[in-house]
Amino acid sequence: MPIDPSNPLPKYSQLRDLLLDWITESGLGVDDMIPSERELSAVYQLSRMTVRQTIDLLVSEGRLYRVPGKGTFIARPKIEMSLVLASFSEDMRARGYEPAPGS
Q: Tell me, yes or no, whether 43 lies in a domain.
A: yes
How many domains is the chain built from?
1
pLDDT at 10: 92
Q: Is residue 23 part of a domain?
A: yes
We report the CATH number of the domain holding residue 60 as 1.10.10.10
Query: How confident is the model at residue 80, as a pLDDT?
Result: 67
What pLDDT is recorded for position 81? 66
| pLDDT one-digit tens code per residue, 24-43 | 888 888 899 999 999 999 99
Answer whether residue 54 is part of any domain: yes
Assigned domain for 33 exists: yes
| Domain of residue 39, residue span | 11-74
Instruction: Answer yes or no: is 90 within a domain.
Output: no
CB-based contacts of 42-46 (< 8 A; 24+ apart in sequence): 44/2, 44/3, 44/15, 44/18, 45/2, 45/3, 46/3, 46/11, 46/15
Q: Which stretches of the chain score pLDDT less than 70? A: 1, 80-82, 102-103
In a domain, 99, yes or no: no
